[in-house]
Amino acid sequence: MDARKKIELLLTPGVKPAEWDMLEGVARAAERGEEMNVDDAIGRLQLTRVSKTAVEKQFNSMTRAGARVLIRWDDEFPLGLRQVPSAPPGLFVSAAVPAPVVHRIAIGHRLATVLFGALHQAVPERMPAAYYAVSYVVTLQTIDPELGRRVLVEIEVGGIGALPVSDGASALSFGMHNNANIPMEMIESDMPVTFMGYGLLTDTGGPGRWRGGLGLWREWRIDCAMAQLSTNLDRFKFRPFGLAGGESAAPSALYLIRDGQKQALRSKVTNMMLKNGDIVRLETSGGGGFGEARLRARELVERDVRLGYVSAAAARSSYGQGS
C-alpha cells in the first residue's frame, strides 16, 4: 500500500489540512519498518526554524518520541539529532509573528494523536487509539458584594484511547497534560460555587475489542448574584478516532442549565454573564476504541454495563450483546 493510500485511511474529520505533509512523511517512513533511520524519520517531521514558539517545542518533542517508538527499545537513541527543515512557514506548526497563539496547546495535543495514527501503521502493537487531546479550560469569575471577585480556572481531562491489549484509562491526564485534580471542597470554601456532581460519563469511550477510556462530567452552580463564564474547549465536532476497526469516542459538550432549562453552548465562550442558581455542565470526550467491537469478550461487556461504563442500549447497538 502506498503512502498516500495509507494517509487516506488514517485521515479523520478532525485532521486539519495543514497536517497532511506531516502524516504523509510519517507514513512513508513507516513503510521502511525495521530499516528506518532515526535521524531520517525525525528529519521528515522537523519544523522550519522560524521561531522558538511553544508549538514548535511541542512538535520537536513529539517527533523525537515518535521516532523512539519506531526503533527497538534496546537500540541506541542519539541525544544530538540533526535538524532538517521540512515545514514551510505559515502552517500552524511553523507559525510566525503575528499569528495568534490562543489555545496553542490544542495543536500539541492533536499532533500527538496524529502520530499515534500514523505510527500505528508501522508498530500497531505499541500504539493506542486517540485520546481526548484537548485542554478543557473553564474559567469562572464570581462577583459577590461581600467576598468581592473570585476567579477559578479549571483544566479538565477525558478518556485515553484503548491499547492493543487493554481498555483505555478513564478521566486521566495524558499526552500533553500533567494535571492534578482540584479538590471541590477547597474551591467551595473559597468562593460562592457549589459542585452539583462530578464523575465518569457513561458511553463516552469508543467501542472496540478494547474500549476507550471514559470522559467525565462536572457541574458548577453559581451561588452569588453575578458571575462570568469563559471557556476554551474543543472536540465538540471531531471525535477522538479509533484504530484497527475500533470506533470513535463521544464528542464533548458544554451546557448552561437555567431555571430548569438545558441550553447547549459553543466550545468557546467569552465573559458570558451568569446569575444566581445557574449551573454550568461540562462533558468531556472519551478515548477511541481499538479493534472491532464485535470481538469484545462478553464478560467485559457485561462488566461494563454492571459498572455503568456502557449503557444496556449501547451494549446492544455497539457490541450486539445484551437482552
Gap between the Cα atoms of 246 and 180, Å rounded: 29
Gap between the Cα atoms of 21 and 7, Å rounded: 10
The predicted structure's pLDDT at residue 261 = 96
The predicted structure's pLDDT at residue 67 = 57
Q: Are residues 97 and 178 in the same domain?
A: no
Q: Tell which of 67, 101, 127 closes a domain.
A: 127
Q: Are residues 297 and 161 in the same domain?
A: yes
Q: Pseudo-torsion of CA 71, 77, 79, 82, nearest 10°?
A: -40
- The residue-averaged pLDDT of 214-224 equals 97
- Residue 251 to residues 74, 111, 235: CA-CA distances in angstroms? 39, 18, 6
CA 244 to chain centre: 19
The answer for residues whose C-beta is within 8 angstroms of residue 276's C-beta and 6 or more apart is 222, 223, 224, 225, 226
Does a cis peptide bond (omega within 30 degrees of 0) precede residue 98? yes
The predicted structure's pLDDT at residue 184 = 92
Q: Are 219 and 195 in contact (CB under 8 A)?
A: yes
Q: Are residues 278 and 199 in the same domain?
A: yes
**Mean pLDDT rounded to a whole number for the chain:** 79
- The residue-averaged pLDDT of 309-319 equals 95
The answer for residues whose C-beta is within 8 angstroms of residue 80's C-beta and 6 or more apart is none
Query: pLDDT per residue over 66-87, tens digit each?
Result: 655 554 444 444 443 334 345 6
The predicted structure's pLDDT at residue 137 = 93
Cα(first)–Cα(last) distance of the chain, in Å?
42
The predicted structure's pLDDT at residue 28 = 52
Joined together, the cell numbers standing for residue 221 give: 452552580
Q: Are residues 140 and 121 in the same domain?
A: no
Q: Tell which of 127, 161, 190 closes a domain.
A: 127
Q: Tell which of 83, 111, 127 closes a domain.
A: 127
Q: Are residues 3 and 108 in the same domain?
A: yes
The predicted structure's pLDDT at residue 57 = 63
Q: Are residues 70 and 195 in the same domain?
A: no
Q: Are residues 182 and 153 in the same domain?
A: yes
Q: Are residues 58 and 153 in the same domain?
A: no
The predicted structure's pLDDT at residue 17 = 38
Query: pLDDT per residue over 92-124, tens digit each?
Result: 666 777 776 666 677 788 888 888 888 888 888
The predicted structure's pLDDT at residue 123 = 83
Q: Are residues 160 and 292 in the same domain?
A: yes
Q: Are 224 and 194 in contact (CB under 8 A)?
A: no
What domain range includes position 12? 1-127
The predicted structure's pLDDT at residue 174 = 86
Q: Are residues 201 and 243 in the same domain?
A: yes
Q: Are residues 180 and 316 in the same domain?
A: yes
The predicted structure's pLDDT at residue 32 = 45
Residue percentage of the chain with pLDDT more than 90: 53
Query: pLDDT per residue over 230-269, tens digit each?
Result: 999 999 999 999 999 999 999 999 999 999 999 999 999 9
Least confident of 9-23, 63-77, 150-164, 170-184: 9-23
The predicted structure's pLDDT at residue 31 = 47
Tally of domains within the chain = 2
Q: Are residues 31 and 68 in the same domain?
A: yes
